[in-house]
């Protein structure tokens, strides 16, 4: 069986999960998220995890990941709402990218309801907590262009 390689990229402040606004993002940490993903997908999937609070590092990681992974699950954090540079980076690679969010960005402050990065991705999943990542990974595994 072929091994599926998936990169999980987390943007700014996601390193503070468990401490930052637990009423919105929950009490579990980024490490808890990574463990949960590994436990859910045990066979034939290889994960790499990356987190940065810096836009340029995320762009560099997207560029480096091109054609090295079967898919990328990206939570751009606040960059979702204004990083045309990350959107352009997604558009510049051939690896499929799914945007995910822990909270429902469409049910939050007005400035958080718009995503400038989603249109560069094959889809967006938000509002299901850590399960958004599981849905995003499943989307990559099962995605077929018609």
- 91 appears as a binding residue in the annotation: no
User: 86 a known binding residue?
Assistant: no
66 labeled binding residue: no
Catalytic residue among 54, 63, 84, 101: 101
**Annotated binding residue 38:** no
Q: Does the annotation list 103 as a binding residue?
A: yes
Strands 71-75 and 123-126, sheet pairing: unpaired
- Closest Cα partner for 23 from 101, 99, 94, 102? 102
Query: What residues are paired with 8 via a beta bridge?
Result: 49, 73
- Distance from chain centroid for Cα 76: 6
Written as six digits, the tokens of 3 are: 């091994």
54 is catalytic: no
Q: Which has the closest alpha carbon to 30: 17, 19, 41, 39?
A: 17
Residue among 25, 82, 84, 131 flagged as catalytic: 25
108 is in an annotated binding site: no
Active site residue 106: no
Going by the annotation, the residues of the binding site are: 75, 81, 88, 102-103, 112
Going by the annotation, the residues of the binding site for substrate are: 75, 81, 88, 102-103, 112
What residues act catalytically? Answer: 25, 101
């Amino acid at each position: 069986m072929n091994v599926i390689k998936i990169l999980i990229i987390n943007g700014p402040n996601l390193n503070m999960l468990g401490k930052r606004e637990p009423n919105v993002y929950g009490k579990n940490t980024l490490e808890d998220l990574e463990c949960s993903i590994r436990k859910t997908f045990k066979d034939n999937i290889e994960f790499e995890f990356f987190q940065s609070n810096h836009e340029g590092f995320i762009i560099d990681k997207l560029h480096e990941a091109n054609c090295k992974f079967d898919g990328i699950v990206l939570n751009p954090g606040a960059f979702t709402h204004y990083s045309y540079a990350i959107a352009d980076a997604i558009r510049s690679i051939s690896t499929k990218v799914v945007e995910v969010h822990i909270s429902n960005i469409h049910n939050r402050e007005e400035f958080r309801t718009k995503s400038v990065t989603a249109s560069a991705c094959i889809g967006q999943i938000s509002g299901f907590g850590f399960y958004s990542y599981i849905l995003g990974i499943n989307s990559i595994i099962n995605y077929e262009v018609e």
